Structure formats: structure tokens, C-alpha cells
Chain A
């Protein structure tokens, strides 16, 4: 394996791994806080058990998220030293604030996990909230750093020199808002559907239905609200990309030729050599609308961009299709769920609905990973858009391929162990919390 490809793969793998855990760490505290709040209000033991059961899951994820995050902060240097040499002082601001946020999060988590029966109960609840809020804040901050790579700001680039550096301006670059909003919603959607689905499965298997039903309801409501808002925020993102990174937008839609009005392609096989797309469904004018809010607008194609600045089209296009496809699907699930809630039908009788949620377990995360592939691969060949090429940033050390193999092996084994642990946690629910159901 080529060292450059190995470095990119290792970065992608590490981030793709970290993002799963960090999203759970960002979102689960809010679920816990709701359940915890209900316990404090209603004194229903089931909610207390639920909070505790979830908090154990979160502790497992938090640790894995924290170590994989530590990895990342080293990997930025280990793999991309020339990038960090220049970028560090410019886009470092969000990272240093993020440090504060993480720190608060870690401390609050310590209080929360070990504070049962030791702290004032509302203070204890509050520490749980702090975990969630600071987790979310750190997510927004890192994404602002990533947004800077897409939309560099806060410095003047003169003859290869980075002058007049202003880290605050760099943090509030043009892309930060649309990306951070979309990312936060994605975290709620993905985690919500995954958690709701697991509990739906348990209800279907008739294990501790009272416990799992309460869990399901909390997670599902977060998931469905997220899924409802996601396409709206995705539309904001798309318009943003059209303005700041036309090459990425063209790659997302495999638009090889500039068109006016431009059609939206659904599916299709991309042939990068002939620059053609076969078998796609075309919706006339829709891309013009998506990108510029006007069905007749012109959309820049790859023909207007120098060949050596083209991102890989096929991957970007497929990933975008996956994200949008899943987004639409989850939107439908959410609508159905709200309809049923509105009708006040008991959920346990709607087994098909629960099955739908079980089916949706991996979907949110698939969309999330696909979305990041769009953003990152669509930025290629740049590591800092328009300023520095990725291949100029890679470490001079040879043999990165071995490092990639080792870290892949580690990530694979960690994933297996975490899955195994969660499986056991869930399996043990009846043993640990088997109180006769007090209501239902």
C-alpha cells in the first residue's frame, strides 16, 4: 500500500471510529437527563433503573471515545505534520476551547457516575446535564475546525506564507454554522434511531417491556425530531457548498458538464474515465433549486474546474446518494411515528412499527459516515481548500502502511469488544433490574 493512501485511510478510519463514540457521548446524556428527570418527578423506579442502565453504556462509550479522541490529536501530527505546522496556530482556537469543554465534561461525568446517593439529587441531575451540554459544545467546536479546512479564513496567504493570523476569525469561518448545525442534528438522529431500535427489539422479544417501552419513547422522540429537521439543514448545507466549494457540489451530483437548469440525479453508475453517469433518474431543475434556490439557475460542472483539482467523483456521488436516501427514509419513519403518537395508539400493538425501528438501527450512523465521506473526499485534493494539497501535508516517514494495518486491527478488535459488552449489558437487564412492572 502506498504511504499516502495509507495515511489517508488511517485518518479516515480513526475519525470514522471516533465519530460514532463521540456522537453517543454527545447525545446519550440528554436521554439520561430526561429519564432521570422523570424519575425525580414521578418516583417511578423504572426510570431510575433506566438512567443507571444507560449511564453504564455511556461510560463504556465515553472511555472509548476519549481514547480514540486522544489518538486523533496525535494522529494529526503523526500523519499530517506539514499541515499542522501551518494550520495549528490558525485553526487551533476551537481545539483549545474544546479542551475546556472536554474537561468540564469529564469532571461532570465523574460526578454523575459516582454521585448516586452522595450528592443532592437535583445537583446530581444537573451534573448529568452539564455532561450533555459540554459534549455538544465540544462537538460544535471540532466541527468548526473541520469547517475551516473547507472554508479557510482568518489569515492572508501571500507567496506561500501564512500572514496576519486571526484565530477567532478562523473559527467563525463561512462553513462553521451549516456544518455544526447539520452535525448536531445528525448526532441526535443517528444515536436516537440506534437506541430506539435496540429497545424496540427488546419489546418485540417481550423482555421487560415496561422498561424498554419507556426507553424506546425517550429515544424515539429525539430521533424523529432530528430526522424531521435534518433535510432542512441539509438543504442549507448544500446551498453553502454550492457557494464555497463548487467542485464538491459537482462531485456530489456527478455533474461533469455545467448546466442551466441542472437536473438532480438519483442513483446511477459513475464512469470516471468517460466522465459519464449511466442509469440515473433525472429530476429536471431540482439541482438548480437545491444549490441556488432557483429552478432555472446555472450550476457549475466539473468542466469549469481544472482537472488536477477534481475530487474523486464516484465515491462522493455514491456517499451523497446514501446520505440523502437514508435521510428521506428516516424522515418517513418519523412522520409515521408522529402520526401514530397523534392517534394515541398503544405502541406495543404496532409490531410493524417496532420492526421498522429495528430495521433503522444502523441507518442513522450509515448516513452520518456517508456524510463525512462527502465532506472530506469532496474536499480532495485539498487538505486546506484552495491552499494546501493533501499530498504535500503527509509525513515523510515511510512505512505508514504498517501503522495503518496495526491501527485497523486495533479498531476492529475494539469494535468487536464494545459490541460484545453492550450485548451483555442488554442481556443482563432482566437480571439487574427485574422489578415487577408497576404500571402498564
Chain B
């Protein structure tokens, strides 16, 4: 059962990165869209993510619940030592979630829209950035649970070059995912071209920030290169990701949309796999050199058992409906 629960946890995190990430990305793209095209981008985006955005965010909640029920020690360590970035991410989630709904449901369209849009764009950016920072901090080995002063305990764990590089890398990936997703959601030629441009731009940004992640890892003495290049899984994941990148550019130029989405999702999955596989099942790396492992800190047997059962039951109930939801609202009314 432990492995069932861990699989669900990984799946929830992955899906949150992909779907929620595309959702943040939509705001990030809007941030980088020239003013005259913004309202068109917004419209496409609303049609695309409106029906599913609520469901996307459930993955975060699922992940958190699995953590606090099944792996309380990890949950509490994160929430104590990463309190500040978590709080900032939360503020971002609140701001963008509510702004997104408010701007659509405000019965009167006036100057308030300007405010909602501002909030939505900037908070999307901040949320993705801090999501990345948190992910980076977990593996950066800067978290110090023996610290006695405020700065080491609550700041330096996440405010370091590596975490920040991962943060920006995440922002670029989110923007990239969103752009790819949006290409398929519009039938209008100029919009398509625009989203393709955006996808290209974000892809380049991702490659640049990806390189920075490696540089920062070297600087902070994090054995990222070893993880990625010295393990077979990590290496093949990276090779596959690079191969799919080539294919992706080719398809982008051709404007093939459906395959593109799968490929982009695949690519991001491979990147996550490459980074996380080597130190699995360690979830948090600590400054002392120790790590907090999923397997070693799992909750009591009965809890894990019922949690696994609840998850299996839930997915039997949920997945068909979720699939139908995506299917139903993907088809465009011509």
C-alpha cells in the first residue's frame, strides 16, 4: 500500500505541475503579451481553462492531504522551514484564483477589470516562481533543522541561487506549457501564430534557465549533474527530453497541435523524472547531509492502508468523469 500512496503522491505532484502549471502559464503569457493582443489572449484562455481550472487545482490539495495524512513528518518539516515561501505561494494562489473568477463574473465590465487583470498576471508569475523555489529548496540541501538563528532556519533554506534558478525555470516551463495548450484552443490563424511565437520564446527561456539551474547547482555544490548523468534513468530521461525538443520544434513550425501537447507534457515529465529519480525516495535533503525519506517516515500502517484505499476508490469514481469533462469541453463549436 505504501507504494500505492507514493504513486498517487507523485502523480498528483506531476499533474499539478502540468495542469496547474499550464494554468499559471496562461497568466504568465498574458504578462508577456503586448497590450493590443491581450484581450484576445484572455478570451482564448478563458475558453480553454475556464471549465477545468477548478479541477486542476485539486491536485495540489490531493498532494497536500496525502502528505499530511501519510507523511506528516515531511509535511511539518516543510511547513516549518519553508513557511515564508509557502505563505507567499498561498497569497499568490488566493490572488490569482479570485481575480480570475472575479474578472469573468463581474456583471459590470469597467475599470475594475484593469485591476483584476493586473492581479491575475502578477500573481500567476509569483505563484509559479515560488512553486519552483519550494521544489528547488526541497532538494537543494539548504534546509537546516538544527539551525538556531532566524536567518539560517527560515530564510537561507530557500533564498539561495539554486532554488531561485529552479523558480525561474519553473516559470518558463509553465509559460511554455500554457502556450502549447493554447495553440490548440484557437482556430484563428493570427492567434495561432502568436501562441506559436510565445511557445518558442518560452522554450528558449526554459533552456536558458535550465542551464542556469545547472550552474547554480555547481555553485551551491549540489550534485545535480551526477544525478542526471550518472544514473541510467536520469540520463535516458534527459536524452528523451532533448529528442522530444527537436521533434517539438519541428511540429511547432508545422503547427500540429494535438501531438504537441502530449509531447510538451512528456518533456516536462521527463525533466521532473531526471531531477527527482536519483534521490528517490528521499523527499527533503537536509543541510546535515541526511535526508527525510518517503519510505522511512510513512505514517502508521493502518493509516497508509486506509489512505491508499480511499485514493483507489476516489480514482475509480473520479477519473472517468474527469476524462469526460476534458473531452466534452475540448471539442470546439465551429
Residues of A within 8 A of B (CB): 56, 59-60, 62-64, 66-71, 73-74, 76-78, 81-82, 84-86, 88-90, 92-93, 95-100, 102-104, 106-111, 113-115, 118-119, 165-168, 395-398, 403, 406, 410, 414, 417, 421, 424-425, 427-428, 432
Residues of B within 8 A of A90 (CB): 303
Residues of B within 8 A of A425 (CB): 105, 107
Residues of A within 8 A of B306 (CB): 93, 96, 167-168
B68 touches A76 (CB 8 A): yes
- Complex alpha-carbon distance, A395 and B84, angstroms: 12
- Complex alpha-carbon distance, A114 and B50, angstroms: 9
A114 touches B106 (CB 8 A): no
Contact flag A70-B83 (CB < 8 Å), given A59-B105, A86-B72, A103-B62: no
Chain B CB within 10 Å — which of A77, A82, A96, A99 has the most? Answer: A96
Main secondary structure of the interface of B (DSSP, over half): helix
Residues of B within 8 A of A (CB): 50-52, 54-55, 57-58, 60-62, 64-66, 68-70, 72-73, 75-76, 78-80, 83, 86-87, 90-91, 93-95, 97-98, 100-102, 105-108, 150, 153-154, 299-300, 302-303, 306-307, 310-311, 313-314, 317-318, 321-322, 325, 328-329
- Complex alpha-carbon distance, A204 and B70, angstroms: 54
B65 touches A410 (CB 8 A): no
B91 touches A406 (CB 8 A): yes
Chain B residue with Cβ nearest A64? B98
Residues of B within 8 A of A98 (CB): 65
Residues of A within 8 A of B318 (CB): 100, 103-104, 107
Contact flag A403-B58 (CB < 8 Å), given A59-B101, A100-B317: no
- B61 is contacted by which of A70, A89, A428 (Cβ under 8 Å)? A70
- A166 is contacted by which of B57, B106, B153, B302 (Cβ under 8 Å)? B302
A96 touches B69 (CB 8 A): yes
A/B interface sample: 20 pairs, CB < 8 A:
A60-B102, A63-B101, A64-B98, A66-B54, A77-B75, A84-B75, A84-B79, A88-B68, A88-B75, A88-B299, A89-B300, A90-B303, A98-B65, A99-B61, A104-B321, A107-B325, A109-B54, A421-B105, A424-B107, A425-B105
Residues of A within 8 A of B311 (CB): 96
Contact flag A78-B100 (CB < 8 Å), given A86-B72, A89-B303, A424-B107: no
Chain B residue with Cβ nearest A110? B51
Contact flag A93-B94 (CB < 8 Å), given A103-B62, A166-B302: no
B79 touches A74 (CB 8 A): yes
Residues of B within 8 A of A77 (CB): 68, 75-76, 78-80
Residues of B within 8 A of A102 (CB): 58, 61
- Complex alpha-carbon distance, A417 and B73, angstroms: 38
Residues of B within 8 A of A69 (CB): 61
A-B pairs with lowest CB-CB distance, top 7 = A92-B69, A77-B79, A89-B299, A100-B314, A88-B72, A63-B101, A428-B107
A63 touches B52 (CB 8 A): no
- Complex alpha-carbon distance, A64 and B68, angstroms: 23
B97 touches A63 (CB 8 A): yes
Residues of A within 8 A of B90 (CB): 70-71, 74
Chain A residue with Cβ nearest B68? A88
A63 touches B328 (CB 8 A): no
14 additional A-B pairs beyond A88-B299, A110-B329, beta carbons within 8 Å, are A69-B61, A71-B94, A77-B78, A81-B76, A92-B69, A93-B307, A99-B62, A103-B55, A104-B317, A106-B55, A106-B57, A107-B55, A165-B299, A428-B107
Distance of A131 from chain B, by nearest CB (Å): 11
Chain A residue with Cβ nearest B304? A89
- Complex alpha-carbon distance, A109 and B65, angstroms: 22
B100 touches A63 (CB 8 A): yes
B55 touches A70 (CB 8 A): no
- Complex alpha-carbon distance, A81 and B74, angstroms: 10
Distance of A203 from chain B, by nearest CB (Å): 20
A89 touches B55 (CB 8 A): no
Residues of A within 8 A of B73 (CB): 85
- Complex alpha-carbon distance, A67 and B94, angstroms: 5
- B51 is contacted by which of A56, A113, A397 (Cβ under 8 Å)? A113
- B107 is contacted by which of A62, A63, A104, A432 (Cβ under 8 Å)? A432
A427 touches B107 (CB 8 A): yes
- Complex alpha-carbon distance, A329 and B124, angstroms: 46
Chain B residue with Cβ nearest A75? B90
B66 touches A96 (CB 8 A): yes
Residues of B within 8 A of A60 (CB): 101-102, 105
Chain A CB within 10 Å — which of B64, B94, B317 has the most? Answer: B94
Residues of A within 8 A of B64 (CB): 73-74
- A110 is contacted by which of B55, B78, B86 (Cβ under 8 Å)? B55
Distance of A154 from chain B, by nearest CB (Å): 9
Residues of B within 8 A of A64 (CB): 98, 101
